[in-house]
Amino acid sequence: MTETRAEIRLPTRELRDDLPFYQNVLGMRLDMIYPADDPAVAVLSGHGLRIRIEKGAAEAPGTIRILTGDPDAVAQGARVLTAPNGTRVEIDELNPPLVLPETEHAFVVRRLADQAPWIVGRAGMQYRDLVPSRLGGAMIASHIRIPDGGPVPDMVHFHKVGFQLIFCVKGWVDVLYEDQGDLRRLYPGDCFIQPPEIRHRVVEASDGIEVIEIGVPADHITEIDHDMTLPTPQLRPDREWQGQRFVHNVAATGDWRPFRLSGYDARDTTIAENTKDVAGVMVVRKGQGTPEWTRHDADILFGFVMAGEMLLEGEGKQPYRLAAGDAFVIPPGMATRWAAPSADFELLEVTLPGRFRTVPAPPPG
């Protein structure tokens, strides 16, 4: 097999000024230098990088980022340096801790009829943003669809998240998950919770598949795992990832009970239990009784109408008649009423945390 190497070229005015920095400060190894009498080119390697410093090269100095599990062990703990040739060097954590932004609470209504744009995202899937403000970066809620089904050009990957939900609205999708056996098929009403950093791969989807994906925080990293092959040989249904278990909740086996809001029934997807109350996911439909005004103290309460209609009333707001495809966020402390649900009404509710208080509220005015 023919050996192949790749290197990045950086400019310099005087090579002898740069070598001590790259060798002694950054700890890189000198692999090549020429000509001997008046060196103009040096090739160095280190930290998984190969660079060619060339006198008079036309490129800009650029930026080198060194990611390591021990930043203090590189360059005597400096985090930002500038080499003699002008190259900026940033030294950072290889696996920085996940930062959950403080929620910027807001009352949000997002209607399908408003024709929010569909954006082509990862693996050719189409995304519609359900909470444009993302509550200050605290969460992202996406309506995802694949118009033409078949095999999905996905790779084994994982997400650095605090919480992530995949809920099927239409069609079906096949996914492989680390340590969870063979293909898992999601049908309408079913959902997966993807614990932080569980490896998975979307394999195939039906025509017209639609899912709701919730991610916390809004900006999170997706990494490709080039080394893992799915399915993995071991089956570990009770494994935890950062305290959370994988959940494949099946709608057909759901247990419907009276919801915390009068006038509705709900089925619990068991996600609150399996995330240790990081989040809760309920499917809600019209039940017995009369809807009443209430307040809640959850940090985030998100709803997505899957079928039918209802009237969302909120203190200080005009009522919103919501239909299938519409989404909303109700901030803590705000009095609201889910009024006049149609007989076929069905809604997905996602809350953070999984357990919170809901109390009666006097009607506004």
Indicate whether 264 and 332 sit together in one domain: yes
Q: Are 260 and 227 within one domain?
A: no
pLDDT for position 113: 84
CATH number for the domain spanning 323: value is: 2.60.120.10
Question: How many CB atoms sit inside 10 A of residue 84's CB?
Answer: 18
Where in the sequence is the domain holding 314, given as residue range(s)?
A: 253-360
Residue 181 and residue 237 share a domain: yes
* CATH number of the domain to which 81 belongs: 3.10.180.10
- Check whether residue 240 and residue 127 sit in a common domain: yes
Query: How many separate domains does the chain show?
Result: 3
Q: Is 149 inside any structural domain?
A: yes
Note whether residue 316 is domain-resident: yes
Distances (CA, A) of 152 to 176, 184, 188, 203: 12, 15, 19, 5
The answer to whether residue 2 sits within a structural domain is no
Give domain status of residue 69, yes or no.
yes
137 and 34 assigned to the same domain:
no
70 and 129 belong to one structural domain: no
Of 249, 281, 296, the domain-final residue: 249
- 325 shares its domain with 227: no
**Rounded CA Rg of the chain:** 26
From 191, 218, 249, the end of a domain falls on 249
Residue 1 lies in a domain: no
Asked if residue 79 and residue 129 are part of one domain, the reply reads no
The predicted pLDDT at position 175 comes to 97
Flag whether 103 is in a domain: no
Tens of pLDDT along 7-17?
A: 999 999 999 99
Boundary residue ending a domain (188, 219, 249)? 249
Question: Does residue 104 lie within any of the structural domains?
Answer: no
274 and 328 part of one domain = yes
Please check whether residues 118 and 239 belong to one and the same domain: yes
Q: Are residues 147 and 240 in the same domain?
A: yes
| Position 106 in a domain | no
Sheet arrangement for strand 163-170: 119-120, 126-129, 140-146, 209-216, 163-170, 191-193, 247-249
The pLDDT value recorded for residue 125 is 75
Judge contact between 296 and 356, C-beta under 8 A. yes
Taking only the tens place, the pLDDT of each residue in 27-57 is 999 999 999 889 999 999 999 999 999 999 9
Same domain, 200 and 286: no
Which portions of the chain are predicted below pLDDT 50? none
